[in-house]
Amino acid sequence: MRVISSCDALLSVYYPQIFLILTSGSYLALSSVVALGANIICNKIPGLAPRQRAICQSRPDAIIVIGEGAQMGINECQYQFRYGRWNCSALGEKTVFGQELRVGSKEAAFTYAITAAGVAHAVAAACSHGNLSHCGCDGEKQGYHDQQEGWRWGGCSTDVKYGVELSRRFVDAREVKKNARRLMNLHNNEAGRKVLEERMKLECKCHGVSGSCTTKTCWTTLPKFREVGYALKERYGTALQVEVVRATRLRQPSFLRLKQSHGYIKPTEMDLVYLERSPNYCEEDVATGSAGTRGRFCNHTSPHTDACHLMCCGRGHDTRQDTRVWQCNCKFQWCCFVKCNTCSENMQVFTCK
């Protein structure tokens, strides 16, 4: 394991609600967290809410996994929106440390949901791998279950509930202000986790002479995170605009209802919800979380929204020649190295004006 000698290797990037721990390499060994001491690390991470700092100090091993889960969520977000004018980075990158962006758009909804789901996914996976000290396989799913159907729980069922619970405790702890955005964020965090739970899979294995399935053992496993990404992207497409209802005497935001609905129709648990219509993301505007599309790559022949006329919002684009270089024709040589050629290709690249 690599040991980090200095705290400066910890670089944290603050997103509206989450933070990511990135190390100058890529992997922060658990032993080094222990060696450095939880106090030092937890105090070095800017923008943690008090309850998050407390979790960090009591569970320093979990904090690494939480950071990786949040990063996985952001990576998936960038993948899902790779053709979009909004490419998932803007809501975060423009954020100053410790300062929240007041954006209540659909895109913010997606960011929150996928991050909360990423944290739950990563924690549950780490539990099954025996990587975290307070959790393991799902204890409820052990021993006989369904005599009639002839199968029983066996193997290691992923304890998704544990992941969801830690995500709830940690990610949701950022929402300290009692305002409409809080209700929106909490709803979307929960929707992300619900979509993950709904996608849990049952895997089974047959036992018996020569492949006959006289008995079966089954266990639950996590879906690939990509699948969660697609499911949430679909939810993003049907996200609902909501408004806040102030039902208490103090007129504090109490719950959300669908905008332009008569009566009090609430969104369902798995709906993504937003408060404000999105900008078109053509021009840079910090207030709406738009980074604009100047300098973005576009593609002349693409059928997606990365087509130049769509991506560049009618401003036109620049064209230049670029050489792409990569390793190719790699062959394994006895023993033991891999030999590759270098291939290159001249290509035109287009960037938005």
Ligand X SMILES: *[C@@H]1O[C@H](CO)[C@@H](O)[C@H](O)[C@H]1NC(C)=O
Q: What residue has token string 């029983």?
A: 152
Binder of ligand X out of 302, 327, 341, 344 (CB under 6 A): 302
Q: How far is the CB of 160 from ligand X (least distance, A)?
A: 13
Within the chain, strands assigned E span: 11-14, 19-22, 143-146, 151-153, 201-207, 215-221, 240-245, 255-258, 273-274, 284-285, 290-291, 297-298, 317-333, 337-352
Q: How far is the CB of 85 from ligand X (least distance, A)?
A: 8
Q: How many residues line the site for ligand X (CB under 6 A)?
A: 15
The span from the first CA to the last CA of the chain, in angstroms, equals: 46
80 versus 257: smaller Cβ distance to ligand X: 80
Q: How far is the CB of 328 from ligand X (least distance, A)?
A: 17
| Residue 119 and residue 35 in contact, taking contact as beta carbons nearer than 8 Å | no
117 versus 240: smaller Cβ distance to ligand X: 117
Q: What residue has token string 């099954």?
A: 128
87 versus 288: smaller Cβ distance to ligand X: 87
Show the tokens assigned to 165: 């619970």
Letters for 116-135 (x = contact with ligand X by CB under 6 A, - = none) are ---------xx--x-x----
**Residue 42 DSSP label:** H
78 versus 99: smaller Cβ distance to ligand X: 78
Omega before residue 156 within 30° of 0, cis = no
Q: How far is the CB of 128 from ligand X (least distance, A)?
A: 7
Binder of ligand X out of 75, 142, 217, 299 (CB under 6 A): 299
| Cα–Cα distance, 237 to 264 (Å, whole number) | 23
Show the tokens assigned to 167: 């995500």
**What amino acid occupies position 128?**
S
Side-chain half-sphere CA neighbours of 116 within 13 A: 33
Q: How far is the CB of 266 from ligand X (least distance, A)?
A: 34
| Residue 196 and residue 120 in contact, taking contact as beta carbons nearer than 8 Å | yes
Q: How far is the CB of 66 from ligand X (least distance, A)?
A: 11
Q: Which of residues 30-59 bind ligand X (CB under 6 A)?
A: none
Q: Which of residues 59-118 bind ligand X (CB under 6 A)?
A: 78, 87, 89
Which segment (54-62, 110-118, 166-174, 291-299) binds ligand X by CB under 6 A?
291-299
| Cα–Cα distance, 184 to 47 (Å, whole number) | 20
Q: Which of residues 228-287 bind ligand X (CB under 6 A)?
A: none
| Cα–Cα distance, 110 to 304 (Å, whole number) | 20
Q: How far is the CB of 87 from ligand X (least distance, A)?
A: 4
Which segment (13-21, 271-279, 289-297, 325-333) binds ligand X by CB under 6 A?
289-297
264 versus 297: smaller Cβ distance to ligand X: 297
Show the tokens assigned to 315: 């401003």
Q: Does 341 bind ligand X (CB under 6 A)?
A: no
Q: What residue has token string 């697609």?
A: 230
| Residue 125 and residue 117 in contact, taking contact as beta carbons nearer than 8 Å | no
Q: How far is the CB of 282 from ligand X (least distance, A)?
A: 10
- Bridge partners (DSSP) of residue 192 are none
Which segment (53-61, 153-161, 208-216, 300-308) binds ligand X by CB under 6 A?
300-308
Show the tokens assigned to 281: 């993301």
Q: How far is the CB of 89 from ligand X (least distance, A)?
A: 4
Binder of ligand X out of 26, 301, 329, 346 (CB under 6 A): 301
165 versus 243: smaller Cβ distance to ligand X: 165
Interaction site with ligand X (CB under 6 A): 78, 87, 89, 125-126, 129, 131, 291-293, 296, 299, 301-303
